[in-house]
């Protein structure tokens, strides 16, 4: 039984490690999950929606709000909003309707489409850690 558990652990690590040439800053399945997403469009949506009023993000001009957390290095965090696993699917779902996942959140529902949320997720996962 121990050999089986060890084999599963080794296989899990091997399958989650980025291949040569892959962006090591993204979760292993992010590239597939966000296929077709446009991070530049995501940055534009972030600016249009005023996300920087509450969040700090590298490459996004002020006002550098401090209501929400800094989003730099989001890709390295284990959780989104303190409870959702940090996966592309969870991030897209969160962006589309934050109050559904955390009813007491200060983050409003901006009425984002799935495509817009995917673009924003691609942008957020590209932000370097501070």
Residue pair 18/93 in contact (Cβ under 8 Å)? The answer is no
More confident of the two residues 67 and 8: 67
Average pLDDT for residues 25-50, to the nearest whole number?
81
CATH 1.10.260.40 fits 23-126, yes or no: no
pLDDT for position 35: 85
More confident of the two residues 21 and 46: 46
For the record, the structure tokens of 10 come out as: 């080794």
Q: What's the full length of the chain, in residues? A: 130
Average pLDDT for residues 28-47, to the nearest whole number?
82
Q: Enumerate the domain spans of the chain.
A: 23-126
For the record, the structure tokens of 121 come out as: 């997720």
- DSSP character at residue 30: H
Residues 8-25 have pLDDT tens digits of 433 333 333 333 333 445
Cα 23 to Cα 29, 58, 84: the distances in Å are: 11, 18, 23
For the entire predicted model, the pTM comes to: 0.76
E strand or H helix at 109: none
């Amino acid at each position: 039984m121990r050999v089986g558990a060890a084999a599963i652990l080794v296989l899990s690590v091997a399958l989650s490690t980025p291949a040569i040439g892959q962006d090591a800053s993204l979760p292993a399945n992010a590239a597939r999950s966000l296929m077709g997403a446009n991070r530049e469009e995501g940055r534009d949506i972030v600016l249009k929606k005023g996300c920087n009023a509450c969040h700090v993000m590298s490459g996004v001009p002020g006002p550098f709000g401090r209501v929400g957390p800094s989003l730099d290095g989001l890709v390295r965090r284990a959780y989104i909003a303190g409870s959702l696993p940090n996966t592309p699917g969870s991030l897209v779902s969160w962006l589309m309707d934050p109050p559904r996942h955390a009813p007491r959140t200060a983050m409003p529902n901006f009425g984002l489409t799935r495509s817009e949320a995917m673009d924003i997720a691609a942008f957020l996962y590209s932000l370097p850690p501070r």
